[in-house]
Amino acid sequence: MDLTGLLDKALDLGDEGDWEGMAELLREHLEEFENEPAVHCWLGVAEREMGLDGVAYERFKRVVMLDPVDPYVLATAGNGLATFDDPEAERALRTAALTAPNVARFMYGAYLSREGQHEKALEELTAARELDPDEPQVAYELGVARALAGDRTVAIDAVGDAVRMDPEEGWTRVVLGLLLLEDERFEEGLGELSEGARLSPDDIEAQLLAALAAAVVERQDLAYEMLERGRMRAGEGDMPLVREVEERLDSGASFARTLLMDEAVPDSLRSRLSERP
């Protein structure tokens, strides 16, 4: 199998969510293509999705050492290194952004925003949006950068654009819901949260956030529905939070609001905004 055929087949498996099959295929041909950065890169992506973070990290380090000419491969590896706070991530992402701005500027901007370099991040992400105005991930990352910079109103607009471009992306809708709740736009926030939770049934936290938000606006049927959706998929470690949310629902809207606005929304939003693409 030649390199192009191997990568096409591997990426097809990734598109299907078959990360184990993708990893197995690439490992079978790793010795044959040991100096090909793309093979190491996509193997690292598959291993990261399988939860093999340490192994994936070493793959991404290898990619950067091989000095890839494909800026998307370099950006993907740089983004992988950024997850581990490796200082090499900045150089890799910056180089990729300079050599192929239409591909990599949003990744570089996303890295900068999470490093607290808000002005530079917004410059990169604004440019990325101009280059690709119809890409929902770019709009989302611009919204994240605005939120991290403390500009909630503009952040809501940008993340809202991402939702309009890809309404089936549950994570984005949950983040939009949290931003709206933080802005005390409870009905709108509940709408986005509940829809995001339905699109992401394994996101236990999203179900419980939606339950609390529904209780705040006194939609009790929806509140208990979302609570049960969370309970059905909750693991043992999730049950204390499930029980706490249930107690707040039973106690009334003011008790639900206190937990939602004082703890749940700030904590969840902080965590989700810090997640790298």
The pLDDT tens digits for 57-76 are 999 999 999 988 888 899 88
Q: Which of the listed residues 51, 72, 99 is the one where a domain comes to its end?
A: 99
Q: Summarize the confidence of residues 7-34 as an average pLDDT.
A: 91
The domain boundary residue, chosen from 57, 79, 99: 99
pLDDT by residue (tens digit) across 261-271? 999 999 999 99
3-state secondary structure of 67: coil
Q: Which residues contact 166 (CB under 8 A, 6 or more apart)?
A: 136, 172
Asked whether residue 93 is domain-assigned, the answer is yes
**Residue 188, domain member (yes or no):** no
Place 103 in a pLDDT band, splitting at 50, 70 and 90. low
Q: What is the pLDDT of residue 122?
A: 92
The predicted structure's pLDDT at residue 142? 95
Burial 8-23 (b: 16+ CB within 10 A, else e): ebbeebbeeeebebbb
| pLDDT tens per residue, range 181-190 | 999 999 999 9
Distance CA 231, CA 250 (A): 15
Number of structural domains found in the chain: 2
Q: Indicate whether 24 belongs to any domain.
A: yes
Query: For residues 188 and 3, which has the higher predicted lDDT (pLDDT)?
Result: 188
Query: Is 50 inside any structural domain?
Result: yes
Is 240 within the bounds of a domain? yes
pLDDT tens profile 125-174: 998 898 889 999 999 999 999 999 999 999 999 999 999 999 999 999 99
CATH code assigned at 72: 1.25.40.10
Distance of alpha carbon 155 from alpha carbon 143, whole angstroms? 4
Q: Which residue range is the domain that position 272 belongs to?
A: 198-277
Residue 55 lies in a domain: yes
Of 99, 134, 151, which one is at a domain's C-terminal end?
99
Exposure of 216 in the CB half-sphere (CA atoms within 13 A): 22
> Is 111 a residue whose pLDDT tops 90?
no
Q: Quick check: is 251 in a domain?
A: yes
pTM equals 0.78
On whether residue 61 sits in a domain, the answer given is: yes
DSSP 218: T
Distance of alpha carbon 30 from alpha carbon 27, whole angstroms: 5
